[in-house]
Amino acid sequence: MAIAPRAVLVTRATELDGLIARHGTRQQAAFFLRSRGRTLEEVEHRHAALQDAVDAVTAAIPVDWRRGQVRRDDLDRFLFGPDDIVVVVGQDGLVANVAKYLDGQPVIGIDPEPGRNPGVLVRHAPARATHLLEASAAGTAAVEARSMVVARADDGQQLMALNEVYVGDPGHQSARYRLDAGRGASERQSSSGILVGTGTGATGWCRSAWLERGSGLTLPGPTDPTLSWFVREAWPSPATGTEQTEGVLEPGQELVVFAESDRLVVFGDGIETDAMPLTWGQRLAVRLSERRLRLVA
């Protein structure tokens, strides 16, 4: 007999959860918010909107399916199965948080607050959950294969991201390294870090760098098999250059960083607490990942 599909619901703690954990009671949380010119009612409204969306999705899961649920803080300890259907209820960033733990499972993004979130990755209303789950299980759901980026160190460490990878000093001060962009383009640099992003990330941090410098690069689209990269605030000196500060990585190409600081860090999608350390002399290669996020469109 065939095993029933498993729907895995991914959520994160709300602001109300965090306030009560920090202050102990709703009354103390309300006092704190008032001191910041805010109200508890606003926070409770957003908490209720998320809970209503979670309840709607939970009710939409067929009764004979298996179920799982995990919060963002526990993702690194949760084991996803190859046949899981992942349902993310929350903000766009939560989809990016879960993407690096998946390997081909379809992801349904549910927006609990339409109009408040951009809805780039969480595109669907809770009422659509039944149809999307059934279509995903049947293999008939329309799916976007979104590109991801992977960073691999010479000691076996590896990190993947949906938006971008950052390489730099852990305190965002000057990082020193040698950058090899291929085709003989090698340069020692001192900068506030390097960004290597996908087409999904081209709407976020990489776009900010692109706009700030008035770059002429064409940023990739979400499903394009290319990456863009930018060096932030490269510093010219007798020992460091500023010639290699942006580019595009085609399939098979990689950006190589040789650490020349005592400690550098690599993290993905803005999650600094999940950083990969590099020490002097280590080699890091950043390239397009073979994995892709299968986002139910």
State how far the Cα of 242 lies from the Cα of 231, in Å rounded to an integer: 9
pLDDT of residue 284: 98
Query: What pLDDT does residue 118 have?
Result: 83
- Would you state the pLDDT for residue 173? 87
CA 229 from centre of chain:
16
What pLDDT score does 121 carry? 95
pLDDT of residue 164: 96
Res 153: pLDDT: 97
What is the distance between the alpha carbons of residues 176 and 193, in angstroms, rounded to a whole number? Answer: 9
Per the listing, tokens 């410098």 go with 213
Complete DSSP assignment for the chain: -PPPPEEEEEE---HHHHHHHHHSSHHHHHHHHHHTT--HHHHHHHHHHHHHHHHHHHHHS-TTSEEEEEEGGGGGG----TT-EEEEES-HHHHHHHHTT-SS-EEEEE-SSBTTB--SS--B-GGGHHHHHHHHHHT-S-EEEEEEEEEEETTS-EEEESSEEEEE-TTSS-EEEEEE-STT-EEEEEES-EEEE-TTGGGTHHHHHHHHTT----PPPTT-S-EEEEESS----SS---S--EEEE-TT-EEEEEE-SSEEEEEETT-GGG-EEEETT-EEEEEEEEEEEEEE-
Q: Are residues 92 and 121 in contact, defined by beta-carbon separation less than 8 angstroms?
A: yes
Residue 126's identity, in one-letter code, is P
Instruction: Please tell me the predicted confidence (pLDDT) of residue 260.
Output: 97
Which long-range contacts does 78-81 make (Cβ < 8 Å, 24+ apart)?
80/8, 80/105, 81/6, 81/105
pLDDT tens-digit profile, the chain (297 residues): 578 899 999 999 999 999 999 999 999 999 999 999 999 999 999 999 999 999 999 999 999 999 999 999 999 999 999 999 999 999 999 999 999 999 999 999 999 998 887 889 999 999 999 999 999 999 999 999 999 999 999 999 999 999 999 999 998 889 999 999 887 779 999 999 999 999 999 988 999 999 999 999 999 999 999 999 999 999 999 999 999 999 999 999 999 999 999 999 999 998 898 899 999 999 999 999 999 999 999
Nearest in space to 149 (alpha carbons), one of 290, 276, 246: 290
Domains and CATH numbers, the chain: 6-141 (3.40.50), 148-289 (2.60.200.30)
Question: Residue 159's pLDDT is what?
Answer: 95
**Strand-by-strand arrangement of the 194-197 sheet:** 246-249, 227-231, 194-197, 164-168, 263-268, 276-279
| Residue 171 in tokens | 């305190």
